[in-house]
Amino acid sequence: MFHKEGYKIILISTILLLIAIFAIDEFIEIGWLRMSISTVFIIFYILVLQFFRNPKRNTKLNDNHILSPVDGKVVVIEEVFESEFFKDKRLQVSIFMSPLNVHVTRYPMSGNVVYSKYHPGKYLVAWHPKASTENERTTIVVKNNTFGEILYRQIAGAVAKRIVNYAKVDDNAIQGTDAGFIKFGSRVDLFFPLNTKINVTLDQKVKGGEEIIASL
């Protein structure tokens, strides 16, 4: 199953692949060269399909858990000052997504969307310390009666040129459901109260909609 954000690109890629295969077969007579060029186009097409895949996840709804919003690797766990919304110290957990990861963003918890804002910005590599505040990004805050307010931030990377965010203020967020998409390499930051129990470690690989990031 593919994400709806990829339908147009997949269609265009399919047409281009068919045209390329026809042209290669029509105009290139050297067998090994024809095979090599065809293989390059097919590999590129497979990578496009892989990037926009949207696998079904077995999300177990639990108000005492914060689930990972994305697939990727934990690259930051630290206490920071969150300057946009909370304006105080928070625990930050950052997850880096390579171009090979699933890039669907899912709601980390159920609740009400109380804040959603897009920020234009730079395209520093996603693991750069300043990416969280200087890159193109969206900031979303979800609130419920168990955790209070939890902020997550979609951040574009050096390759990503478009962030898709479905969360709007007053929306009812359901844990594990589709909240957006980031095209190509990128990262997501989460900000928790200082007393939150973090259930992941640095360099741990996590799966969106299933992995428990934090708990009470």
Q: Are 192 and 80 in contact (CB under 8 A)?
A: no
Q: Are 186 and 132 in contact (CB under 8 A)?
A: no
Q: Are 146 and 173 in contact (CB under 8 A)?
A: no
State pTM to two decimals: 0.86
pLDDT at 19 exceeding the cut of 80: yes
Sheet with 178-182: list strands edge to edge: 104-106, 178-182, 163-165
Backbone phi and psi for residue 82, each to the nearest 5 degrees, phi listed first? -90, 115
User: Quick one: pLDDT at residue 126?
Assistant: 59
Q: Which helix (H) or strand (E) holds 91?
A: strand 88-97
Backbone phi and psi for residue 124, each to the nearest 5 degrees, phi listed first? -65, 160
Confidence of residue 161 (pLDDT cuts 50, 70, 90): low
For 33-51, what is the mean pLDDT?
91
Active site residue 94: no
Token pair of 135, please?
């890159």
Q: For residue range 69-101, what is the model confidence (pLDDT) as tens digits?
A: 999 999 999 999 999 999 999 999 999 988 789
Give the strand pairing for 205-206 and 178-182. Answer: unpaired
The percent of the chain in helix, strand and coil, each rounded to the nearest 5, is 25, 40, 40
For 29-39, what is the mean pLDDT?
91
Confidence of residue 130 (pLDDT cuts 50, 70, 90): low
Among 120, 108, 215, CA closest to 152: 108
Question: Which candidate in 13, 68, 132, 186 is catalytic?
Answer: 186
